[in-house]
Amino acid sequence: MRTPNDLELVHLTKRYGDTVAVRDVNHVFTNGSYVCLLGPSGCGKSTTLRMIAGHESVSEGSILLDGTDISRLPPAQRGTAMMFQSYALFPHLSVRDNVAFSLKMKGIDKAARYKSADEMLALVDMGHLAERLPAQLSGGQQQRVALARALVTKPSVLLLDEPLSALDPFLRIRVRGELKRLQRELGISFIHVTHGQDEALALADEVVVMNNAVIEQAGSARDVFGAPRTEFVARFMGGHNVIDLNGGRYALRADDVKLAEGGHAATVSVVEYQGDRVAVTSKLGETEVLALVPEADFYANPKNPGDAVGLAWDEGRLHRLLA
Amino acid sequence: MSETLTDTPASAPQAARPPKPPGSLGRNLLGWLQAAPLTLVLLAFLVAPIVMIVIVSFWRATEFSIIPDFSFENYEFLFGSQVTWRVFMATFKYALITWAFTLSIGFTVAYFLAFHIRSQTMQIALFLLCTIPFWTSNIIRMISWIPFLGRNGIANQTLQNWGLIDQPLEWLLYSDFSVILAFVHLYTLFMVVPIFNTMMRIDKSLIEAAYDNGASGFQTLLHVIIPLTKPGIMIGTIFVVTLVMGDFITVRFMSGSQKANVGRLISNDIALLQYPSAAATAVVLLCTVLIVIGILLRFVNIRKEL
């Protein structure tokens, strides 16, 4: 399982006075994987990332990269590089100088650093705009420059702090495709912080869901979505119902709920057309149950809010929650 | 029928260019009216006095009369005199040294306030603390240096008590030292404010990004903070340079009338009722300062800050 260049968090804790932002987190990030740290705001995901990057001091525990404790090293000596949420490009430097910045700090001569910078810019397809200033670029272009600037240091782990949040929805989908492609080409680990579960599902080899300063669940995107361990994960990933049955609490995927005569009797409360399917929310006693019904099936027997409806599901699709 | 037919082509071109004729004149007029009050104020209180000074600078004067005329006499005398050149050089010297000190102190203070004080309340409190000396008049602040720096002043007595010196230091008061000390004291805040203002606009993540890219604290200062603070530095520089070059009272008080700058040249002429000569000196000084600012603006674009 373990490979060189794995990044390991050991009993990692961050305190601000009395509040704990990250509580005793243990996790191994496998080398060369795309990992998404997913969670609501304030769950500790950004703090974890910033501790790995070295922009936040570690209160307790350690961070191991390739077996060495890097938690006390300055950011540039860790073998990590960070891409900031707002990209943090230097507004007074050209694109090329931005990318070459870290090499300049190391004292590498101009010709050599421009050569490396141009290679990186070519990698992100920005070579033709190397002379521009950041303010003359679009959001997507700035994002690529920021990526090139982070990659020019040849990190073994790239840390991305909500890299897509500043982009419009269409661009976001295109850029996330590019991120994934780049990660595969470079073969290094990407750790990507996000609060969008669709982003995490689309990108991640491994999804790490955080809540209240701890990791709630970690696993492949399919495992986490298909088998949420806790109620929080089920609700946060979306597309799940949480139902109390026979004294236990179960998660049930919304697309596994069918509208059928003779099922559990419920009353429709909201009907939402979503294009390829229809989201029907019904009241089953006190619980609200969401059913995602294929569009054609729904319109074969349409329902309106207030109508009685039968809800049916395959018992085998119920998934027991641990908390 | 024929009525409507002839009507149509007549109304068509009118409809084709509707936004132009009446509306635009009205809007232009409104624009001019809105700009008029400030224009009039500037004309009356800025342009007119300067024009007046320029006109008077070509007049002639004797010991007891002023003769409206067009003569280059004042300028010929001004540029022909060794005193003028020396006094201008002294003025430049004061401006340059004061600039160097106010910049280094002002930059340090602003840097401390902007990057080392985390809480905004504390930033504002410390900033107000910097302004406290400005609650009293310039003259009071200048004069209060005199008992401190004098031959038997606090500074000399303390140094003697500590045994650091045997004789009182003569150069503490009524010297270039005291003049520049007063200038720095008076004008450092004019450097702090614009630099602090620019620094507060620097995105803190840029500092982090520099750190992430392996820059040391000094490299961050050199390659990120100073370049991004240039407009503020330039605005502060313009304040300090114009204030020092136009000053006459500080030089008179702090040098005990032993040193001169251009401002004092003008003030002496006025005291002797040599208005045309004073006006000519003022015109030359104005041009000099404008040239200096022109040169400064070639280096840095401050428009973003305004």
Contact (CB<8Å) A105/B206: no
Give B205 to chain A, closest Cα distance, Å. 6
Q: Provide the pLDDT for residue A191.
A: 94
Each residue's pLDDT tens digit, A13-24? 999 988 999 999
Inter-chain CB proximity A105 and B214 less than 8 Å: yes
Alpha-helical regions (H) of chain A: 45-53, 95-105, 110-123, 139-151, 169-186, 197-203, 221-226, 231-237, 295-300
Q: Is B203 close to A86, i.e. CB distance below 8 A?
A: yes
Q: How confident is the model at residue B6 (pLDDT cuts 50, 70, 90)?
A: very low
**What pLDDT was estimated at residue B22?**
55
pLDDT score recorded for residue B54: 94
Is the pLDDT reported for residue B10 higher than 70?
no
Residue A5: the pLDDT is: 72
CB contact under 8 A, B212 and A54: yes
pLDDT digits (tens, 9 = 90+) for A173-227: 888 898 999 999 999 999 999 988 889 999 999 999 999 999 999 999 999 998 8
Query: pLDDT by residue (tens digit) across B224-235?
Result: 999 999 999 999
Contact criterion met (CB < 8 Å) for B216 and A105: yes
Average pLDDT of the segment spanning A235-262 = 86
Contact B212 A105 (CB under 8 A): no
Substitution target from B207, B212, B228 for chain A, most A beta carbons within 10 A: B212
Task: Please indicate whether, in this complex, the C-beta atoms of B206 and A90 are within 8 angstroms of each other.
Answer: yes
CA atoms lying within 13 Å on the CB side of residue A294: 4
Interchain proximity B223–A91, CB inside 8 Å: no
Q: Which of A74, A84, A92 sits opposite B209 (nearest CB)?
A: A84
Q: Which of B161, B222, B233, B171 is nearest to B198 (CA)?
A: B233
For A67: left if phi > 0, alpha if psi spans -120 to 50, otherwise beta; the answer is left
CB contacts < 8 A (A, B)? 60
Give the relative orientation of helices A169-186 and A139-151 as an angle to the nearest 10 degrees: 20
- Find tokens 């750190």 and name the residue: B211
Please indicate whether, in this complex, the C-beta atoms of B211 and A55 are within 8 angstroms of each other.
Answer: yes
Decide if A102 and B219 are in contact by the 8 Å CB cutoff: no
pLDDT of A93 higher than 90? yes
pLDDT given for residue A190 in this prediction: 94
Neighboring chain B residues of A153 at a CB cutoff of 8 Å: 213-214
Q: Does the pLDDT at position A276 exceed 80?
A: yes
B24 lies within 8 A of chain A by CB: no
For residue B216, give the chain A residue with the closest CA.
Answer: A105
Closest CA to A124 of A148, A157, A155: A148
Residue B102 has pLDDT above 90, yes or no: yes
**Interface residue B118 vs chain A (CB under 8 A):** no
Phi/psi class of residue A199: alpha, beta or left (left: φ > 0; alpha: ψ in -120 to 50)? alpha
- Give the pLDDT mean for B31-35: 90
Q: First CA to last CA across chain B, in angstroms?
A: 63
Taking the CA of residue B299 and the nearest CA in chain A, the distance in Å comes to: 14
Identify the closest residue of chain B to A97 by CA–CA distance: B223
Q: CB distance A88–B203 less than 8 Å? A: yes
Does residue B43 register a pLDDT over 80? yes
Q: Which H or E run contains A84?
A: none
Q: Is the pLDDT of residue A134 over 80?
A: yes
CATH class of B82-305: mainly alpha
pLDDT for B21: 54
Residue from the list A82, A85, A91 with its beta carbon closest to the beta carbon of B212? A82
Percent of chain A at pLDDT exceeding 90? 50
Q: Which of A109-123, B61-75, B179-193 has the lowest mean pLDDT?
A: B61-75
Q: Which residue of A has its CA nearest to B300?
A: A92
User: For the segment B195-208, what is each residue's pLDDT rounded down to a tens digit?
Assistant: 999 999 999 899 99
The amino acid that residue B194 corresponds to is P
For residue A315, pLDDT over 50 is answered with yes
Whether the CA torsion B206, B210, B216, B219 is positive or negative: it is: negative
Q: How far is A81 from chain B (nearest CA, A)?
A: 7
B221 touches A at CB < 8 Å: no
- Indicate whether A66 pLDDT > 60: yes
Contact (CB<8Å) B213/A76 = yes
- Percentage of residues in chain B having pLDDT higher than 70: 90
Q: What is the mean pLDDT of residues B270-299?
A: 91
From chain B, the residues in CB contact with A165 under 8 A are: none
Which residue of A46, A50, A92 to mutate against B (max B Cβ within 10 Å)? Answer: A92
The reply to whether the predicted model has a pTM over 0.90 is no
Q: Is B258 on the interface with A (CB under 8 A)?
A: no
- The predicted complex's ipTM stands at 0.81
Chain B residues with beta carbon closer than 8 angstroms to that of A85: 205
Interface check for B214 against chain A (CB to CB < 8 A): the answer is yes
CB atoms within 10 A of CB B265: 24
